[in-house]
Every structure is written in structure tokens, then in C-alpha cells.
Structure 1
Amino acid sequence: MTVDLNSRYGLNSAHSEVVDACKIIEPCDTLDMGCSNGRNALYLGQLGFNVVAVDANPGAIDMLQSIVSEEKMTNVKAQVYDINNACLGVDYGFIACTVTLMFLDPARVDAVIADMQERTLAGGYNLIVCAMSTEEHPCPVRFPFTLKAGQLREAYEGWELIKYNEDIGTMHNGAQLQFATMLARKPG
């Protein structure tokens, strides 16, 4: 890979699960849900994915748009979008939603996941990483939404689970919490 745009612009590296997913997913039309400043979108764009990066924060989208324009990247589009709306309107081969669901309106998460599934092309992929709160590991952070044990697996019944775990992880601020991590492939 050429230049690491993330470090050039002072962003965190792409999420490790996005990096891993790219080892098996060929470049395709991709949605980065809750892109923040674009760490995953820039990484995917450099690998040749056509990326639509959405976030509800206009400041984050402005920052990503300025990087994309500075780097003359024609395959990354950043736009303000409230994920709670659950009306994507376009189909994708890959939808990445890493550490995003826990910031959504809890009453909308099922609709958001259903919309992601509907808007994934046959044979396409969904990647979700979301905090959990279970009896053994109550979530120490007051997120609006957390997954229960097995909840994400159930939501993707009928999909091929390429990767699924509910492991303890460390957030970039050092907080230890349990995450559901899933890469699922939609039946062809």
C-alpha cells in the first residue's frame, strides 16, 4: 500500500476487523456507517473499494471531505446521514458498522440492522462490532444501546457467519468491555 493516509492526517488506524475483512472481501460498493473522521473509509478507499461514508456529525464529514478532496480520491464519498433513519436506499456489497450501534437510539437498532441486511447484495457482507452488556460483564460505559448475549447472532440467522465472537476487548481509551464482533455473508 502507498501512503498511510490515516497517520498523515492524525487519524487512528482502520479498525482491525475492517482490515481483517478486507483479506477476504474483494473491492466493491461499500458503506461505512458511523464513519466519524473516516479512518475506515480512507483505508477502504486506498484498497480500491467504492466507499460511501456516513455519519450524523457534520464536522467529521467536513473533515473527511477535505481529506478526500486533498488526496483527489474519487472513490470515497462522505455525507451527513442519521443512521437512526434506517433508510439507506442503495445496495452495497459490504456494509461496515464498527462501534456505531451503541450510539444509536435503542428503539431504532432493529430497524437499522434490518435495513443493512435488506441493502446488502446477495453474497455481500455485513461487519458489526458493538459493545455488549451481560450479567457476567455489565458494560462500564453508559452507551444508549448495548447488545445482549446472542442477540447479534440471532439477528443474522440464515446468513453465513464468517466470524462471530463475544469477547472482552479494550476500547482506544483503555476501558475493558465485552464486544459482539461479526462478519456475516448474505446468502447468494
Structure 2
Amino acid sequence: MTIDLNSRYGLNPAHSEVVAASKIIAPCDTLDMGCSNGRNAIYLGQLGFNVTGVDTNPGAIDMLQSISIEQDMQNVKAQVYDINTANLGQDYGFISCTVTLMFADPTRVASIIADMQQCTLAGGYNLIVCAMNTEVHPCPVPFPYTLKAGQLSDAYQGWELIKYNEDVGTMHNGAKLQFATLLARKPA
């Protein structure tokens, strides 16, 4: 049984979609895009994934590094990285990008997704959870970027969609909005 390091360090629990994906995906080299303080990176690291957490916030990266050092989690690394550069430069078996794209530069999102796809090993996985703005469910939060209906699944044509939905959900702050959730496997 693993210790709940997230609550020990005052982090939110790992995202439910990361938890679900970790039951399908074998531990591998993993990228947590927009990792913040590391709630998903710490969780996956405890399961044996080799995780690199990236975020633009140096304070968040420092916190994740401190936790990984204090817990001797040599399989969890953290680095400052702006996802808008869309230049990962390394391949991963699993790239997770949960509630991150909506804070990206809207003109860069297509490049960010293309870079994620390019840097995913054959047979590897991408997980994306992103807010949507549709006529039926207008987004109540003024995020810089939101997805339109079908937009995310269209970007993953040719990949095996393990999970895809566009459901109304609740953010950790209680706001209700529609999210596109995708777990896709790159052809081997």
C-alpha cells in the first residue's frame, strides 16, 4: 500500500483520469504537462512510472523537486518548461495533459498537440482533459483556450481512442463546465 503523499504535502488528489489511465498503462517514461505542484507526477511516480513534470511556474517546479528529493523518488523529475514552445525533444510512452491546454496560447494549441503526438512512442498514450465552449454548454470561465465539439477527437484520427467523451464535469474549485476527455493510443 502506498502512502498518500499528495495529502501529506497538501496537494490535491491525482486527477481521476490519470488514476484511471494508470490502471491501463504499464509504468513507462511519462511526461506530466502543466504539472503544477506535482499531484499527478507524485501519484504516478509512486506506481513506478518514470515521470518528468513540466510547468512554467518555477515555484511549483521547486515544490515538486523538493518532494521528490525528500521522498527519494529518483523516478520523478521536474523542470520549468513552457508548453507553448511545443518542442519537447524527447519521446515518452505516456504524455498526460490534464486541465492545462485551456491556459495555453490559443495560437499554439495545434502545435502543442502535434508535438505531443510526435513525441509519443509507438504504442504509447496521450491523455488530454480540456475545457470546452459549446452552444449547449458555454464555458463560464474566461480561459484563454477552449475546445469545440469534436475538435479533440478529430486531432487524434488514426490513433486508437481508448476513451473519449465530452461530458459536463466539476473543476476542483466547484465550477461546472464541459470537458473533452481523451485517452488515445498511438499505432504501434
TM-score interval, normalised by the smaller of the two chains: over 0.9
How far did residue 139 of structure 1 move? 0.2
Distance 1:50 1:142 in 2: 34
Identity of aligned residues (%): 81
How far did residue 41 of structure 1 move? 0.1
What residue in structure 2 maps to residue 63 of structure 1? 63
What TM-score results when the alignment is normalised by the length of structure 2? 0.99
Distance 2:82 2:17 in 1: 23
Distance 2:63 2:22 in 1: 24
Determine if the alignment matches structure 1 residue 27 to structure 2 residue 8: no
Distance 1:166 1:2 in 2: 32
- What is the root-mean-square deviation in Å for CA atoms of aligned residues? 0.4
How far did residue 2 of structure 1 move? 1.8
Letter in 2 for 1:101: L
What TM-score results when the alignment is normalised by the length of structure 1? 0.99
What residue in structure 2 maps to residue 37 of structure 1? 37
Letter in 2 for 1:5: L
Distance 1:131 1:16 in 2: 15
Q: How many residues align?
A: 188
Aligned positions of 1:48-87 closer than 5 A: 48-87=48-87
What residue in structure 2 maps to residue 183 of structure 1? 183
How far did residue 129 of structure 1 move? 0.1
Letter in 2 for 1:35: C
Distance 2:172 2:53 in 1: 21
Which structure 2 residue ranges, 5 or more long, are not aligned?
Answer: none
What residue in structure 1 maps to residue 170 of structure 2? 170
What residue in structure 1 maps to residue 88 of structure 2? 88
How far did residue 160 of structure 1 move? 0.2
What residue in structure 1 maps to residue 148 of structure 2? 148
Runs of 4+ in 1 over 3 A off after TM superposition: none
Deviations 1:72-116 (A, max 9, x none): 110000000000000000000000000000000000000000000
